[in-house]
Amino acid sequence: MYATALKMLFRDKSKYFGIVMGVMLASMVITQQGSIFVGIMSRTTATITDMGWPDIWVMDPKVAFIDDTKPLQTTALSRVRGVEGVNFAAPLYKGQLRARLDNGEFQNCIVIGLDDATLTGGPPEMLRGDLSDLRQADAVIVDYVGATTRLARANPLPNGKPIPLAVGDTMELNDKRGVVVGISKNTRTFQSQPIVYTTYSRAIQFAPKERKQLSFILVKTTPGMPIAEVCKRISETTGLAAYTSREFTWKTIMYFIRNTGIPINFGVAVGLGLLIGTIITGFMFYSFTVDNLRYFGTLKAMGTRDGTLLRMILLQALVVGVIGFGLGIGAASWFGTSMRGTPLAFVMTWQLLFVAGSAVVIICMLSAMLSMRRVMTLEPAIVFKG
Amino acid sequence: MTRSAADVTRGRPVAVRCRSVTKTYGSGQSAVRALRGIDIDVHTGELLMLVGPSGCGKTTLISVIAGVLDRDGGECTVLGEDFNKMRSDAKTAFRGRNVGFVFQAFNLIPTLTIAENVSVPLLINGHKRNAAVEQAKSMLSQVGLGTRVNDYPNRLSGGQQQRVAIARALVHKPKLLVCDEPTSALDHVTGQKVMELLRDVASSNDLSLVVVTHDQRIFEFADRIAEMDDGHIEQISGGLGHKVAEHPSESALT
């Protein structure tokens, strides 16, 4: 009987496509908007996730998220190094400085100053040059997106494309000279600002003079030592906040979720997708069932049990759900793929697919329940009514 | 050669026995008493026609006999079983095994081929899909549609669709066939052919047929004709005008 149910569904082409389109639309909107949301959220934490190295981030207890730097005294580094379980601790400068472009315009950049000795916390991938080149005089490494867009030099030719910043080029950071020694590949940041890497000591020179300039301390724990335990010890011993990379990532994400309009904006779009999908699918599926009510009644009169009819309807709902969901995430993936290389933030995760899939299950179950109610209350005697 | 009602019913077991069957729709002042104490038997191999004006209770009676509607009072056994005493699933399964349906509007599922439509009762009874379709094709050949097995219902004429419906009603070899206005959507010639088919099937398979109809042109096919009015059976005549009894009593029926 289940093959019969599928034939009833597939061969009613207009209704079948309508229902599948409804599910597809809902899946696509939920997945696409969700992926953009996840993409944007992942950009807010790009600085943390691109720096896979540290086990622990140490900072001022008042820091709310990665861009909210509250500098520490340099002595904090020594205090952290003295905590049991800390194998290695490196200073990190993170700040925003103005770069002066060739055409005289200024561009804000994220400047990251790495430990002079070890250069820990460098970019995840080098496209040109080598991280150790930072040891050269005035050396800086610029991220690829920044080098090709906001920091690119003006083309002397009329209507010519900007010329990307290249190794050997110079730039001016806060009136101080920097020489590009490498191009790195980074995750775009939330504000898509160029990222400039240099050494910690040089970053301090670039930055305006302040009493405290140590933004974060990156910690590697002693092998075998529980990271959470070391975090606790650092906090208790130094009075500073210490988070694992994962904790700091989520702290940053939660800051943006709680303090910006991003979640509600995307939530509305996702909710709308769910609502529209439910209405279209529910209506079309219900209409499909109502159109077939006489035939369900006939099947019931001819001896089909209620349970079998229920399973037939559930199967129909499940099949349109799976096909619609597949098409929906396919369309969303195509969208994401076609937008690769653009500033669009798009990250499709399995968790997102799970959420979208759950939403589709809810849509299909609601639609099926509406239909099942009609079939269950159907008197088989309907078949004798003309 | 014609047969009298007595010829048909004599010595044949009773397939359906109804005594004082009542059915009321609604309640209070809006209640409609559709059946007001029906006494009737249907014998094995008999073709009984229920006739009467619209609203007289024919369809209600056929629904009760077929087990798709519960009666309110009286007794009614079909093949020795009382539907009102059966659980819902058991009743459904009993219908699936023993009752065939032919509807006025055919009720063929438009998205299934006619072979698939005819195979449905077999699938309901647990037959394997391929075997069911093969058996359905064989049944369609018997009703003269062996070359159209892969057509969809909407490509057939009304008469052909009714033949498909008959094939579907018979394919699982039921013991009782209930037909609601089987010829009302058909022209005279086609209607005659459909009734000949039903008549032949009934007599050759010891099948009991109950046919609700307004179509006087097919009365000749009946073994007995029960005339209904206002929820009662007014009289039962033998087929071809042979009167069996008026205001039938149980003794007269059996």
Identify residue B42 by its one-letter amino acid code. Answer: V
The ipTM of this complex is 0.81
Torsion, CA B101, CA B105, CA B110, CA B115, rounded to 10: 40
Query: Is B131 touching A (CB cutoff 8 A)?
Result: no
Q: Which residue segment(s) compose the domain that A227 sits in?
A: 73-239
Question: Could you tell me if A90 and A14 lie in one domain?
Answer: no
Question: Could you tell me if A235 and A312 lie in one domain?
Answer: no
Q: Is residue A220 part of a domain?
A: yes
By three-state DSSP, how is residue A242 classified? Answer: strand
Q: What is the largest CA-CA distance in chain B?
A: 55
Owner of token pair 């029926």: B253
Question: Could you tell me if A144 and A228 lie in one domain?
Answer: yes
Question: Could you tell me if A178 and A302 lie in one domain?
Answer: no
The neighbour count for residue A288, using CB atoms within 10 Å, is 23
Question: Could you tell me if A96 and A203 lie in one domain?
Answer: yes
Question: Could you tell me if A224 and A270 lie in one domain?
Answer: no
Identify the H or E element spanning B123.
Answer: helix B114-124
Q: Is residue A57 part of a domain?
A: no
CB A22 within 8 A of CB A281: yes
What residues does each domain of chain B span?
Answer: 15-253
Question: Could you tell me if A235 and A272 lie in one domain?
Answer: no
Residues 271-290 of A with CB under 8 A from B: none
Residues 175-204 of B with CB under 8 A from A: 180-181
Question: Could you tell me if A212 and A312 lie in one domain?
Answer: no
- Of the pLDDT bands very low, low, confident and very high (cuts 50, 70, 90), residue B248 is very low
Helices within chain A (DSSP H only): 2-10, 13-44, 46-50, 75-81, 144-148, 200-206, 227-238, 245-259, 262-291, 293-301, 306-338, 350-376
Residue range A32-68, pLDDT digits in tens: 888 888 888 888 888 888 887 788 999 999 999 888 8
Question: Could you tell me if A179 and A79 lie in one domain?
Answer: yes
Taking an 8 Å cut-off on Cβ atoms, the answer to whether B59 and A385 are in contact is yes
Residue range A124-133, pLDDT digits in tens: 889 999 999 9
Indicate if the pLDDT at residue B9 is higher than 70: no
The minimum CA-CA distance between B51 and chain A, rounded to whole Å, is 15
Residues of A in contact with B111 (CB under 8 A): 7-8, 10-12
Question: Could you tell me if A83 and A204 lie in one domain?
Answer: yes
Question: Could you tell me if A213 and A331 lie in one domain?
Answer: no
Structure tokens that stand for B50 in this block: 């229920």
**How much is the average pLDDT of B118-122?**
93
Residue of chain A whose alpha carbon sits nearest to that of B172:
A302
Q: Domain B15-253 belongs to what architecture?
A: 3-Layer(aba) Sandwich (3.40)
Query: Is B96 touching A (CB cutoff 8 A)?
Result: yes
Residue range B151-187, pLDDT digits in tens: 999 898 888 888 898 889 888 889 899 988 888 777 7
Residue range A127-170, pLDDT digits in tens: 999 999 999 988 999 999 888 888 888 888 888 888 888 898 88
Give pLDDT, residue B240.
59
Residue of chain B whose alpha carbon sits nearest to that of A292:
B109
Q: Is the dihedral of CA B204, B65, B246, B14 positive or negative?
A: positive
Whole-angstrom distance, CA of residue A136 vs CA of residue A122: 15
**How much is the average pLDDT of A253-280?**
81
Whole-angstrom distance, CA of residue A41 vs CA of residue A349: 12
Indicate if the pLDDT at residue A183 is higher than 90: yes
When divided into structural domains, chain A yields a total of 2
Question: Could you tell me if A318 and A207 lie in one domain?
Answer: no
The neighbour count for residue B89, using CB atoms within 10 Å, is 11
In DSSP terms, A172 is beta-bridged to A100, A177
Give pLDDT, residue B246.
42
Taking an 8 Å cut-off on Cβ atoms, the answer to whether A1 and B124 are in contact is yes
Query: Is A300 touching B (CB cutoff 8 A)?
Result: yes
Indicate if the pLDDT at residue A281 is higher than 90: no
By three-state DSSP, how is residue B44 classified? Answer: coil
